[in-house]
Structure 1
Amino acid sequence: MRVERLRLRDFRTYAAAEVAIGPSLTVVHGPNGAGKTNLLESLYFGCTSRSCRTTNEREVVRFGAPAARVEVDVCDRDGSHELSVGFEPGAPKRLRVDGAPVERMADSPARPLISVFLPDRLELVKGAPSLRRAHLDQLVTALWPARAATRVAYTRALAQRNALLGRIRAGRVGPAALDAWDAELARWGVALRDDRAAAVDLVAERFGAQATDLGLAGAAELRYRPRSRAAGAEALSAELAERRGSDLERGFTQHGPHRDDLLLIRDGRELRAYGSQGEQRLGLLALLLAEREALAAERGAPPLLLLDDVMSELDADRRALLVARLDDGGQAVITTTDLAHVPGADAPGVVRLSVAPGSVLQDAGVASRAA
C-alpha cells in the first residue's frame, strides 16, 4: 500500500493544497513556523481520521473556516483508492473510502499503516504508562488486525466489573456477583497480555540494534512489564478474587493488563527517569524504526513513516544512517529547516516540498497545486 497524493482544504494554516508523495522519500523543507508539521499532520489525519498532535480537533480547522477536509490517494495491488475525512466542529466526522461512507478508517483494508515521530511524542517515553499501553495495543493491531477485538473485549469486561464494584459498594448486590466478571476479565486479560508480549518479542532485539546504530550509549533494551504473570485465565481470576477487598474499598479494579507498562531501558535504567531529552529522542526513534522493521517482516511492507524535525539533533553520520535505514522499500516523509540536513535529498526520485506560510510548492517535474 502506497500513498500517492494528498489534498487538503482549510486544514490548519492551509486554505488549499495538493501535493504528490514520493514512492520512497519525501522531504518537506522550509523555515520554522511555515507549516511543515501541519502538512505531516494532515497526511496522518487523512489516513487515520485522527490528529497526531491534539485531542481537541477543532484546532485542525483553519481559523475562520467552517470545516476541514483531507483526501489521500493510495494504491495497492488491486488498484487505486481514495480516503477522505471531513471534519466540522460539533458534527460527526465524514469518513469515506472510494466514495462509500465507513464508520472507522482503521477497518478499511485500503488504509495504509502509518507511524509518526514528533518532538511532542517524547511523552510516549517519559509520560504515563497509559500512553505506552495504548501505543503497544496499536502495534498489536497493526501486526495482527484480527487481535484488535481482544483489547475491545477486555476494556468492555473491565468497565462491567468496575460498574459492578460500585453496585456492591452501594449494597445493591453481593460480592459473589463478581465471580462471573472475574472469569471474563481474566479470559480476555491473559489473551491481551500474551498479544502484547508477542509484539514486544518481535521488536525488542531490533530496538536494541537500532538504538546502538543511532548512537544511544549503553545497552538498550525494550521490556514488557505485565502487572500479572499468571499462567492462565484461571490463575488470573484467582488473583482478582484475592484483591476484591481492596478493589471494593477503592471502587475500581487495580490488577490486570490495564496496569501494564512498556519500558525503554538503557544500561538497566529506564530512559523515562534517567535519560536526557536527547537520549529519549533517540530511544523513541529507535522504537519506531524497530517497529517499522517488524511490521515489514510480518505484513510484507513497512508502514509510512512521518518524521518531524528529527535531523536537527543528529550528527552527520547518524543522519546518513537514518536515511539508509529508510531505504527499505517503504515510504517516509521528513521535515527539515535545511535540505543539507537530509543526505540524498537531491537524489533522483526524492520528492521535495518547499513550504511557506499557507502554501506548499513542489520541485519541478512533479505536478502540484497550492493556494
Structure 2
Amino acid sequence: MIAVEAEEIGDIRAVAADFFDRHAVALDDDDAPRYDRVVWARACTELGVSAIGEPESDGGLGGGAAMLAAVLVEAGRTLSPLPILGSAVRAQTALRAIAWPEARAGLLEPLMGGDQVATLAPTDTSLRAVTAREGDHAWLLDGTVGRVLDGDTADVVLLVAAVGDGIGLFAVRDGVECRRQTSIDVTRSFATLELAGAPAQLLGTAEPSALAEIEQWSTLAVVADQVGGAQECLNTTVEYLKTRVQYGRVLGSFQALKHQCAELALRVDEARSALAHLVWALDESPSDVAEAAAIASVVGATTYVACADEAVHLHGGIGFTWEHDAHRHVRRALTDRSVFGSVQTAREAVLAARGL
C-alpha cells in the first residue's frame, strides 16, 4: 500500500503543469525526432518522470500510481511528445515485473537519470512473432514487430519471447533494422523492427501472467493521458464559446451549446473517476486492478475521442485548421483508442471480471 497525501498530489500536478507548459511544442508531420533529448533529461532530473513510479528500493521516488497519474494527466493536456509511456512506464514496468534484480539495476539507473530511452515492443505481437535462440556468445532474436512506440529513437528495445515454458525479457541495442511507420498521431512515433539474429541480453524470465502487470500500468498511463487531453479539449472549447460572437450573440449563450459542453463535462468527470479508481486499485487493492483497468480503458478512450471530436466542431472553421491544436487531440485520441487497447476487448474484460 502506498499512501500519498492529496496536498502532495496537488503539488506535483502544479509542478508538472508548469514544466509541460514551458516545454510544449507544436509538432508537424515532418518533425523528427518527436522529442528533444535535452528536455527529456530535464523531465527526468527536475520532474522525476522516470523515477516517480519506481519503488524506493529500486532507487525511485516511491510515488506509486497516484503521483505517476498526476504527472501523466498534465502530459496529456499539453500533448507532450516525451517518451513517458514507452520508456518510463512500459519499459520500466517490464523490468520491474520480469527482470532479475541485477539486470534491472543495470538498466534503471540510466533510464531514471534521463541518459537513455527504452521502449517495450507490444507484448502480444512479440510473443507471436519473435523467436529466441541461444547463440555462442549471446541470445539471438528473429522476427518482425510493428507498432513499436519510439522504436526509432530508443537506445534499447525490450521484447518478450518464449523461453522454455515461460517468457523471457530481452534487451536489444544493435542488429535491428528499423522502419518508421506512418501514423495519424503527430505527437508520437512508431516503428517496425526487423530482427534477423539480433544479439540480445536475457534480462529475466517469468510466467506469462507477468504480462498483465505491464499492461495494467500501461493502461494507467494511457487513461491519464486521455483524461488530460479530454479536459483540455473541454477547457479550450468553453473558453472559445465564451468569447466568440456570431449572430449578434456570444456563442456560449446558446442553450444547445451549453448542453453539449455540460454533457462533455460529465464525461470528463466519469473518466477522471475511472482513473482515480484504477490508481486506488494499483496502489492499495491488487485484486481489483484487472476490472478497474478494463473500466478505465473503456471510459477513457471513449471520452477523449468524444471531447476531441466535439472540440473540432464547436470551434467552427478554426477547429479544422492545421494551426489549431484540435486536430492534434483528435489524432492522439484515435491512436490511444486503436493502438493501446481495444475498447471492445476492455468491455469483454469487464464482463468477465463480473462473471458475465
TM over 0.5, shorter chain: no
Ranked by relative contact order (alpha carbons within 8 Å, sequence separation 6 or more), the top structure is 1
The normalised TM-score by structure 2 is 0.29
- Greater C-alpha Rg: 1
The normalised TM-score by structure 1 is 0.28
